[in-house]
A and B are shown apart, each in its own frame.
Chain A
C-alpha cells in the first residue's frame, strides 16, 4: 500500500546546529502536512504544502515540497531547546480513499 517514509528516526544535535527531516512517498501526493509533538504532548499542526516545488518559512523553519510532489523536507536553522520533539509528516493521496498517510516521525534531541 501507499507509504510515506520519514528519515532519520532520530537526530541528535548540539544547540545551535541545524536539523533536517525528510519524507518520501511511493506515490504522488495531493498535499503534505507537518506536525510537531513535544515530549509528553500531542501533535500540533505546523504547516500544509500543496503546490509542486512550494517552499514556506516560519521563522527558523523551512518547509519544502518536491517538484514531483513525492517528497518533502523540514529544515530548522540554529536549533533551540524549544525545538525538541518529534516531527511528523502526513501526506494525502487521493488514491488512498482520502486518507492521510503518516510518516513514522523524526525525534529531535538536543545534546546536553
Chain B
C-alpha cells in the first residue's frame, strides 16, 4: 500500500507570492491533517479535513487555507507569503474518523518551503 505522498518536496518562493501544496493520503483514508513544523517549534496544527469538510482548524491566519477533494486528496494554499512561513509542511492521513477519534496518523515526507 502506498504511503502518504506530498508534492512538491521542495519549494522556493518570494515574499508576496502564493503557494499550493498537495497531499495524497493512503488509499481508504478519509481524514487529512496539515501541520507546520519550524525548528524548535514542534508541530503546529493547521487544519483537518474529513469527507471534503474542514472539521478542525488551528490558530493560523486566514492566509492559510485548504480543501479536500472527493478522492480525499487535499491541497493547502498560502497566500501573500511572508518570510516566517518558511517551514516544513507535513500532511497526515488517518482512517475513518481521524485523529480526533483515536486513529493513528500516517505522515508524508513533507514539503519544505523556503520564502526569500
Q: Judge: A and B partners, yes or no.
A: yes
> Which A residues contact B (CB, under 8 angstroms)?
9, 30-31, 33, 35, 41-45, 48, 50, 88, 90, 92, 97-100, 102-105
**Minimum Cβ distance to chain A for residue B30 (Å):** 14
Contact (A92, B102) CB under 8 Å given A99-B56, A102-B43, A102-B45: yes
Q: B7 on the interface (CB 8 Å rule)?
A: no
Neighbour of B107 across the interface among A30, A43, A50, CB < 8 A: A43
Q: B110 on the interface (CB 8 Å rule)?
A: yes
Interface residues on B, range: 20 to 34
Distance, CA A45 to CA B42, complexed state (A):
15
Distance, CA A10 to CA B101, complexed state (A):
30
Does the CB pair B42–A92 fall under 8 Å? no
Distance, CA A104 to CA B56, complexed state (A):
20
Across-interface contacts of A41 in B (CB, < 8 A):
109
Does the CB pair A42–B90 fall under 8 Å? yes
Does the CB pair A97–B102 fall under 8 Å? no
Q: Which residue of A lies closest to B33 (CB)?
A: A100
Contact (A88, B43) CB under 8 Å given A42-B90, A44-B107: yes
Q: B100 on the interface (CB 8 Å rule)?
A: yes
Neighbour of B42 across the interface among A30, A48, A50, A103, CB < 8 A: A103
Across-interface contacts of B102 in A (CB, < 8 A):
30-31, 48, 50, 92
Q: Which residue of A lies closest to B108 (CB)?
A: A42
Q: Which residue of B lies closest to A44 (CB)?
A: B107
**Minimum Cβ distance to chain B for residue A94 (Å):** 9
Distance, CA A43 to CA B91, complexed state (A):
10
Q: Which residue of B lies closest to A9 (CB)?
A: B40
Distance, CA A48 to CA B41, complexed state (A):
23
Across-interface contacts of A97 in B (CB, < 8 A):
56, 100
Across-interface contacts of B86 in A (CB, < 8 A):
none
Contact (A104, B104) CB under 8 Å given A43-B90, A92-B99: no
Does the CB pair B99–A100 fall under 8 Å? yes
Distance, CA A90 to CA B101, complexed state (A):
13
